[in-house]
Structure 1
């Protein structure tokens, strides 16, 4: 396993932590596609909450625009060079309640389709020997191209709901190759530590 890479948070504002490798490895329940040490951040409002759960949430999909972080800026977490960009996937509805169970039943199909179906729109940034992937970005929001140099804190896209995502959030992973099917995960810290599940990050 490669040495730990130190990153900044790829956002500002308040976000809650999910699927952290501080609590479990593999963090996403699988070693596929170098996701064993990946982490998710879900945008929340000033009260630390995502979109209110209503009777409608229980029985039908919800538009991603209903969620507080849809469209929030996603930032480069380190200096580097953009090595891959994908921006063709459309944002799909969010799935909670019973719709989330139906969505889970299609998980095997998405895995079989490979990395693009899981990551949705994404940007990969080469940072020394590591490649950082920022996934589930909003359709049409990516503002960088392959070969561009980016600085820490530079806007690269917006939080969306593309790929394997039940509500708008950002998935970030570090790996030793831009090919997730062959890469090995690289451990990450954020501002010197690794947040745990349920922790609310206020990145300013």
Structure 2
């Protein structure tokens, strides 16, 4: 997703405890702290890159910051802790407690993604991976276009909010489509059923967004038609770029593992049909940390793998059958 240029392109996580703090990062942190403590929420909004501004309006930014101030008070000190994958981390002392703040910066030193806990629940230990058992979300074999823990095989690792995410499509004879590449229906994955990987509650639904013509993108609705599921362990699964008018569930509904919840589409900021799937620690699109998503038992390149996290160019299917 973030936001996919799929037609243009067919490390293990680490935490550095180095105390070296790049000057540009320090400048951003100092500006953020000053704006935050002075309730200059417009100033914080002006620190965002274009994509971040798509997710958070000035009004949303102010509401978000008010939640943080209500939960933790003003910032007393921000100490650089190092990096977590692509994000810079500050151990932050607030008036009412301590928390880590994560920033991703663009090449122009603008905030491209972040994670800032708003309350004690969100200030829990970072979600590293799922403990809920998951099945693969397609009935048929599918192809992992982006996936894994290293940037060279998963460009999502450049973004804190999407790290470890998958982009999944279907291919035959080395191609994702057959026929006219300007028609969504030519793409093998378009219209395929998407299943719930586990029992869960439907936390959020975004619907009503038209599918793009292949090669075009929708920069106003980045995730397109979207579903977010919440597990009983408060893990959140995000499904993006869903087909227009295919969502079969409603917010608050309880779904069962293997239940069809939607169909794969080409909505949002993407150039061709695929499923963007990720695990995250909150239900937000803009204030979350991506986590590793493992599947209980799947067939990978013809071999059975258990508790496996697929990587780029894996052919994956469930070991069980689903109607």
* TM-score, normalized by the shorter chain, greater than 0.5: yes
Q: Is the 8 A contact 2:151 2:158 kept in 1?
A: no
**Per-residue CA distance 1:11-57 (angstroms, 9 max, x = gap):** 1112110111244386425325x111211110234x564214x8x75
How far apart, CA to CA, are the structure 2 residues paired with 1:162 and 1:29?
22
| Alignment pair present for 1:43 and 2:170 | yes
| Alignment pair present for 1:121 and 2:249 | no
Match of 2:206 among 83, 86, 89: 86
TM-score, length-scaled by structure 2: 0.52
Q: Is the 8 A contact 2:202 2:249 kept in 1?
A: yes
How far apart, CA to CA, are the structure 2 residues paired with 1:44 and 1:86?
27
| Alignment pair present for 1:16 and 2:134 | no
Higher-Rg member (1/2): 2
> Corresponding residue for 1:4?
129
Match of 2:285 among 177, 180, 186: 180
**Per-residue CA distance 1:52-83 (angstroms, 9 max, x = gap):** 4x8x75xxxx1101111211100001111000
How far apart, CA to CA, are the structure 2 residues paired with 1:93 and 1:181?
26
> Corresponding residue for 1:201?
316
Match of 1:153 among 244, 258, 269: 258
> Corresponding residue for 2:16?
none
How far apart, CA to CA, are the structure 2 residues paired with 1:153 and 1:22?
26
Matched length: 180
Q: Is the 8 A contact 1:22 1:195 kept in 2?
A: no
Higher relative contact order (CA 8 A, sep 6+): 1
TM-score, length-scaled by structure 1: 0.80
> Corresponding residue for 2:240?
135
Which consecutive unaligned segments of at least 5 residues does structure 1 have? Answer: 96-102
| Alignment pair present for 1:72 and 2:212 | no
**Per-residue CA distance 1:118-162 (angstroms, 9 max, x = gap):** 210011100122110111110000010000001111000001000
Local SS of the residue matching 1:179: coil
